[in-house]
Amino acid sequence: MDDDGGVVKVPSSVITAINFDVLTAEDKEKIAALEINAPGQVISSDLGLPNLSSECSTCGSVDLYSCEGHFGVIKFPFGIFHPYFLSEIAEILNRICPGCKSILRELCTKGEKSMSRINKTSGCKYCAGRSMGWYPRMKFKVSSSSNDLSRRNVIIVDVNDKVPKKKGASGRELPADYWDFVPGDAQQDESCMKLNRRVLSPLQVVYMHIIPVWIMVPVRARI
């Protein structure tokens, strides 16, 4: 650099490309000044000003103009579904077999017998339907009419056929393993597990392993 006459010459360079990317979970943890584990930590002095101590614990600044704030991460036990994507999730679930995870297709064309479809199901009881017991189709949908706030905007799955209200009321009953594709959730209430319906928690939908990652919001967020 040349400092003649008080003029500083800055080296020139050429930008050849600009690359945009999304931070990974590991990247966020590295740059985070604090991991949020309790509600009160969102106003922690580690995250910058303003705060109760009037001083930033991370950079030591006492001036709002000198501290722009610092990055914090919140860790959740599982992914959080974006509410605007719930209908898309239900649509995907209705197009994929819950058992073999293949795309549902109507293999039985007009004029053919149902056995032609059964022979192409690769042994999946849900695809085979009635050939391997009574495994009726199911329908996933978004429920938003519940009076219970915790039940609003959740995904429910109904048996898409008539099921006897009482066990043994008719000769047609759901097999004992019909709902086995739904992962267990220890925190789920028994009222969510009716004979012909299941109310799915986000954790259960995630562990069904058929939902694309892009419909889930990041599990670590900037404060």
Q: Would you call 120 helix, strand, or coil by DSSP?
A: coil
CA atoms of 94 and 160, how far apart (whole Å): 11
Residue 17 to residue 30: CA distance in whole angstroms: 25
> Tokens for 170?
């008719």
CB atoms < 10 A from the CB of 148, how many? 9
Question: What tokens does 5 get?
Answer: 């006459």
Query: In the prediction, which pLDDT does 170 show?
Result: 52
Q: Name the residue type at position 96.
A: I
H or E segment and range at residue 118 = helix 115-118
Distance from C-alpha of 140 to C-alpha of 160, rounded to nearest angstrom: 9
Q: What is the mean pLDDT of residues 188-215?
A: 76
Give CB contacts under 8 A, 24+ apart, made by 209-212: 209/101, 210/92, 210/93, 210/96, 210/98, 210/101, 211/89, 211/92, 211/93, 212/92
**Could you state, in order of their start, the residue ranges of all structural domains in the chain?**
25-74, 80-103+136-217
Gap between the terminal Cα atoms of the chain: 41
- Residue 178 near residue 195 (C-beta atoms within 8 A): no
Q: List Cβ neighbours of 176 (8 Å cut-off, separation of 6 or more).
A: none
- Which residue is associated with the tokens 């009574």? 134
The answer to whether 86 and 141 are in contact (CB under 8 A) is no
Please state the pTM of the whole predicted model.
Answer: 0.55
pLDDT, tens digit (0-9, with 9 covering 90-100), for 123-164: 788 887 665 678 888 999 988 665 554 555 788 999 987 765
pLDDT of 108 higher than 50: no
| Res 52 pLDDT > 70 | yes
Task: State the pLDDT at residue 139.
Answer: 92
